[in-house]
């Protein structure tokens, strides 16, 4: 193998891109392979990250594209778009193409084009939930909703086709491997757990960190860190729980750190429920060290996840993590730290129980686990082995 092509046509820069770049950095440092990367010209954070990697020796040739965003049904009729991507790939002529997919419905133009070009194709994918499960709870009230429901069902059928395309999958947990298999993925599936960049995590004095953000020094603080998107991350579910049980949370404060499409709706919810004294929103921080140092607990009330980076980072800081009983959280966290998504009473009960308990042994075990199994160096080596086969 001499040349690897990476493909990612998304407009947003998320945790999966961060991990893929960490894997690429390892390949640059420990091999002489040539690397090409096709990315969306408007994803400025991804472009900048790739350019920064090139400062290590100009090892990545970057190809900018501006594809028309297609859903999984439109792509069956997008012959021109697929042909254009295929021609670009043929010009690069890699030994293998790695398509970076947050979900199977993301970057599948690259997936289809790579297969049509005849290249061995790997999907690096953190989430393998079927579309209807991601939209669970949506009520059908109007004819338009029924049409949407039918369309989603058709997309789910189309996804089965896409799951059958890659020659190999790289995913981030055993739970996701099981989901891939149930969705019709082939037998070649490598599990490569996310790695935590411990060099970038600093531990600060709690009182000083709280003072910097103007936080109450006496309250017990629980943080929800991540993109503000109700359909996945569940910030609205947390607000509902805090609102219903506020009388039992007098000395507990909540921080929500992030940006996203539902930020304004979240602000309105907090104001309408009179929760300004309980819940505060802080903009996203590229360096979360002082946030982790300031809080007492991490809350992950997500409907679905992969293996959240914030979870392993919180484990490094010896913070208890309470979470929905799904995906990577269910695989990694103690059962008594988990609650059922949508169970508001269960969330609050779990929070209060974990706060009151002696978690010393679990917290020590979690930190050791992060420093061994979830080190960034181990991720890099496992990622390169999964991509190259050696």
Sign of dihedral through CA atoms 259, 265, 269, 275? positive
Return the residue matching tokens 């069956």.
Answer: 76
| Ranges of each domain in the chain | 3-195+375-388, 198-372
Q: Which letter, b or e, does each residue of 11-44 get, where b requires 16 or more Cβ atoms within 10 Å of its Cβ?
A: eebebbbbbbbbbbbbbbeeeebbbbbbbbeebe
Query: HSE (CB half, 13 Å, CA atoms) of 123?
Result: 34
CA 8, CA 106: separation in Å to the nearest integer? 8
Using pLDDT thresholds of 50, 70 and 90, give the confidence band for residue 71: low
Residue 54 has pLDDT above 50, yes or no: yes
Mean pLDDT (the chain, rounded)? 90
pLDDT of res. 347:
98
CA 192, CA 307: separation in Å to the nearest integer? 11
Residue 32 has pLDDT above 70, yes or no: yes
Q: Which letter, b or e, does each residue of 60-86 get, where b requires 16 or more Cβ atoms within 10 Å of its Cβ?
A: bebbebebeebebeebeebeebbeebb
Q: Are 169 and 122 in contact (CB under 8 A)?
A: yes
Domain 3-195+375-388 = CATH 3.20.20.100: no
CA 268, CA 289: separation in Å to the nearest integer? 28
Give 38-51 pLDDT, tens digit per residue. Answer: 999 999 999 999 99
Give 241-286 pLDDT, tens digit per residue. Answer: 999 999 999 899 999 999 999 999 999 999 999 999 899 999 998 8
**CB-based contacts of 235, cutoff 8 Å, min separation 6:** 224, 228, 256, 262, 266, 301
CA 45, CA 345: separation in Å to the nearest integer? 39
Among 65, 16, 18, residue whose Cα is nearest residue 40: 65
Residue % of the chain over a pLDDT of 90: 72
* Architecture of the structural domain at 198-372: 3-Layer(aba) Sandwich (3.40)
Among 329, 319, 312, 322, residue whose Cα is nearest residue 351: 322
Q: Are 95 and 1 in contact (CB under 8 A)?
A: yes
Residue 370 has pLDDT above 50, yes or no: yes
Tokens of residue 167, six digits: 């020659």
Q: Are 134 and 232 in contact (CB under 8 A)?
A: yes
pLDDT of res. 137:
43
Q: Are 164 and 112 in contact (CB under 8 A)?
A: no
Q: Are 96 and 4 in contact (CB under 8 A)?
A: yes
Q: Three-state SS for 295?
A: coil
Tokens of residue 364, six digits: 């020590």
Give 308-345 pLDDT, tens digit per residue. Answer: 989 999 999 999 999 999 999 999 999 999 999 999 99
Residue 18 has pLDDT above 60, yes or no: yes
pLDDT of res. 150:
64
Residues in the chain: 390
**Angle made by CA atoms 120, 134, 286, in degrees to the nearest 5:** 75
What ranges in the chain are assigned the alpha helix state H?
A: 15-30, 44-54, 79-92, 108-117, 131-134, 143-163, 174-182, 206-213, 230-233, 235-244, 263-272, 289-294, 309-316, 327-332, 344-356, 360-372, 376-388
Tokens of residue 35, six digits: 């690397």
Tokens of residue 211, six digits: 């003072």
Residue 140 has pLDDT above 60, yes or no: no
């Amino acid at each position: 193998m001499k040349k690897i092509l990476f493909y990612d046509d998304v407009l947003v820069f998320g945790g999966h891109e961060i991990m893929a770049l960490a894997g690429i950095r390892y390949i640059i440092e420990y091999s002489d392979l040539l690397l090409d990367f096709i990315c969306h010209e408007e994803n400025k954070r991804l472009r900048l990250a790739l350019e920064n990697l090139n400062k290590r020796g100009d090892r990545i040739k970057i190809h900018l594209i501006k594809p028309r965003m297609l859903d999984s049904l439109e792509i069956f009729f997008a012959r021109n778009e697929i042909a254009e991507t295929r021609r670009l790939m043929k010009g690069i002529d890699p030994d293998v193409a790695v398509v970076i997919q947050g979900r199977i419905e993301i970057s599948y133009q690259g997936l289809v084009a790579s297969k049509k070009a005849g290249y061995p194709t790997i999907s690096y994918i953190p989430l393998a939930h079927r579309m209807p499960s991601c939209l669970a709870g949506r009520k059908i009230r109007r004819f338009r909703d029924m049409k949407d429901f039918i369309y989603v069902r058709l997309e789910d059928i189309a996804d089965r086709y896409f799951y059958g395309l890659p020659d190999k999958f790289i995913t981030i947990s055993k739970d996701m491997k099981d989901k891939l298999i149930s969705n019709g993925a082939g037998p070649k599936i490598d599990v490569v757990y996310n790695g935590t960049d411990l060099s970038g995590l600093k531990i600060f004095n709690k009182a000083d960190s709280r003072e910097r953000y103007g936080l109450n020094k006496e309250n017990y603080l629980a943080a929800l860190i991540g993109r503000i998107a109700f359909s996945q991350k569940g910030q609205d579910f947390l607000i509902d729980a805090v609102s219903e049980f506020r009388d039992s949370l007098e000395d507990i404060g909540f921080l929500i750190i992030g940006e996203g499409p539902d930020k304004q709706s979240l602000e309105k919810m907090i104001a309408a429920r009179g929760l300004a004294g309980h819940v505060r929103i802080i903009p996203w921080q590229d360096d979360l060290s002082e946030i982790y140092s300031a809080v007492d607990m991490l809350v992950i009330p997500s409907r679905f996840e992969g293996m959240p980076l914030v979870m392993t980072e919180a484990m490094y800081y010896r913070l208890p993590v309470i979470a929905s009983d799904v995906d990577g959280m269910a695989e990694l966290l103690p059962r008594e730290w988990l609650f059922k998504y949508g169970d508001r009473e269960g969330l609050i009960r779990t929070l209060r129980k974990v706060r009151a308990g002696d978690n010393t042994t679990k917290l020590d075990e979690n930190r050791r686990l992060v420093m061994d199994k979830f080190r960034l160096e181990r991720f890099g080596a496992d990622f390169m082995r999964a991509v190259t086969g050696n």
